[in-house]
Structure 1
């Protein structure tokens, strides 16, 4: 049966909300392709950062009170460039517990990302990466439950739907992964990414999740960490590509996502869409609880679009993320297909061993050729977690212009 078109009067709340959505997408630079889907203004990294601008601004506004309270207490944990000795960097992982000052430091560091980070869902392992040589923060890692449907991952594993349902418990996703200044200026991001595949992470996973009961399935699961996925928010990643130490690959590219998502719907607009569904007494307006999966926000937006008569294709933003896998176990794919029963962690190194290799392979050579990191002052970090306008900055700056200014600060 053919679906009836939704007709909305020009002066109703629905019409005003539709105009706001269209205006927001035009402001970001999206155009409508010939098939009705959205066409992004560009696939360059600068353009992608600019597309996330409003989402990031909304997030920083929401965290403004936290930043004002936490930054004076925690700023000392960020290094000056002069305090970093590349030849003596000694990484250490600290598992973060909720409600601690370490949790606040993790949150503060994550707010400096140019693309807003997720809070994760389900199982979570969050780490601060310390430099024990000077007691300063190198970066942060967060591992959580993976998305259920990820075509490129499932194809490379060779999963059936039944396989995935039974063995997804052996997979995590690195949803936060990176270094903070000044370590990011000397390829500290590569070090942090490699630290995901270490004995310490394996042991933490085994202690916390090796013998637990699924919240949704209620079944007891003997999970073995076999595979970690991650993706680059900016398309192809210069940090993750060719990530090998010796003969061991740490991250392997396997393809791109199809460009569906909701990053182009910022929190303020999402709140209006939820309010619209609430007034219509739609079930999705307040349906967010654990067990409904990570796509609740996507489904909520889709439901609001459907009620407004907007094509769901508007959720296809066209920005594909490059997906990478870290084969934690040497028999990861066989274990995930059910061809092996026990994960084999042959050749798995400790944090200190990986740190020594990454230091010699990337960080010391980069520090010798790119010495700008020495000029970094920890006081500059405040500019990364706020949108305070300088006296000389025009209020008409576009998102892309502000992003360029941010890159000048971080050297990224």
Structure 2
């Protein structure tokens, strides 16, 4: 006879163990709401703790929350915390009751209608999903998403902005602490002599280099991502232009991560040998961050960073870091060959990668478009989805061979349990996909006809010299707006206002 391991059976067994078979039926119906209440209490306490740190005083934080509750800001989703639980109904007080627990719960929960609140979490979350999508410019038709307007770059930036602002608000203390120390690495336009620019590629391995990378990345319109799996990060510094302390200015940043094992535009290109797809795909990497910082971005510095991705130095950094390393789960030693990179454009068709060549040879090759599926338009809801699933005992942890898929799986599970179709993950925004071949015989290598990669010889110094003649100097002769750039504008882009209070972090 097969084991009954359904949630219903678990609840029944727990109720019988606690109250016996006679009182179990009624008690069973209370266990799940109580477990959910404990989880909600923990989440609220985490948010109160964060708010208390920002206010430097817990009493001030509590008074702000209480004021918002009375005004209805929390109920409308505009509060400093996402929801409210009365003090006597929070788990910290419930667990202290050693006598009369049943009556206490009745008074605390029913009196405050908390049971109704707990059981209406799904309805509230469904409402939040629909409102969020409408605010972004989507409408739901027959269970699928449709755009009410067009999908130009301004619209796409707005989609990303909500996610970026949420992440930035949570990191305001970190930003304000780091900016004074790292500000000297960001150039004003007047600090730069274009003729003297001398780029160098540096792997970000020390704490200050990683902090500089992260701070620079946060200034972009796309939400920050630390990447998945194997990771490499690089800074491009200008040794020819330095700040008063003698430090080189930051020109751009580049970051690689493990590739997705399933990626249709790439997989349609290669006929992998049977049983070797994972091995071969794991000898490629995905570019998840690539770009220049102003004023260098005005001088087509993005082209330089894109060229850098294909350089010998990036391949060598990969070999140094991963040669002889065993995979954590399978215990296999994979060849430390980096034979190709893939990436997608940020907004539809890319002007950065198209026609990117070195001495007439393409550096990046367009291999199609994504199918318009993803989770980025649901990012602000992702923490709520996780809490909703975890409160029901559903794991949302990542791990080996999961990577970005765990976010996809979490969104699908939450949407389906809320009564939505997984089709809501089709945001319809297609991105151009590019392949960077790092070896001459890439097709033969990926299709198993050879085990010997024939590497291209692309020293970064040569790529930088080519960029200087092909893009930098002609650009300087045509435009002069870069000279007016002031680095303090970056700080302005990093400071966000709390939408509930209208107060910016540096105004506290």
Which of 427, 430, 441 aligns to 1:331? It is: 441
| Partner secondary structure for residue 309 of structure 1 | coil
2:233 is aligned with 1:131: no
| Partner secondary structure for residue 133 of structure 1 | strand
Which of 355, 375, 388 aligns to 1:276? It is: 388
Give the CA RMSD over aligned residues: 1.8
For residue 198 of structure 1, report the CA deviation from its aligned partner: 1.0
Summarize the alignment of residues 171-250 of structure 1 with structure 2, pairs less than 5 Å apart: 171-250=284-363
| Partner secondary structure for residue 304 of structure 2 | helix
Q: 1:407 matched to which residue of 2? A: none
Distance in 1, matches of 2:252 and 2:394, equals 41
Summarize the alignment of residues 13-412 of structure 1 with structure 2, pairs less than 5 Å apart: 13-33=121-141, 36-40=143-147, 41-97=149-205, 100-134=207-241, 135-159=248-272, 162-267=275-380, 269-284=381-396, 287-346=397-456, 348-388=457-497
- How many equivalent residue pairs? 376
For residue 291 of structure 1, report the CA deviation from its aligned partner: 4.2
Distance in 2, matches of 1:176 and 1:371, equals 27
1:216–1:291 CA contact under 8 A, matched in 2: no
| Partner secondary structure for residue 132 of structure 1 | strand
For residue 88 of structure 1, report the CA deviation from its aligned partner: 2.6
In our comparison, the structure showing a higher alpha carbon Rg is 2
Distance in 2, matches of 1:378 and 1:103, equals 20
Tell me the alpha carbon deviations over residues 59-82 of structure 1, each in whole angstroms, 9 at most, x when there is no partner.
111221111001110011011112
Inter-CA distance 333–87: structure 2 relative to 1 (3 Å threshold)? farther
1:117–1:176 CA contact under 8 A, matched in 2: no
Q: 1:409 matched to which residue of 2? A: none
Tell me the alpha carbon deviations over residues 252-294 of structure 1, each in whole angstroms, 9 at most, x when there is no partner.
1111111111111134x2222112112222233xx23454322
Displaced runs of 4 or more, over 6 A:
none
1:157–1:336 CA contact under 8 A, matched in 2: yes
Relative to the length of structure 1, the TM-score reads 0.87
2:143–2:420 CA contact under 8 A, matched in 1: no
Tell me the alpha carbon deviations over residues 338-365 of structure 1, each in whole angstroms, 9 at most, x when there is no partner.
111111114x221111001011111111
Relative to the length of structure 2, the TM-score reads 0.71
Q: 1:403 matched to which residue of 2? A: none
The structure that is helix-richer by fraction is 2
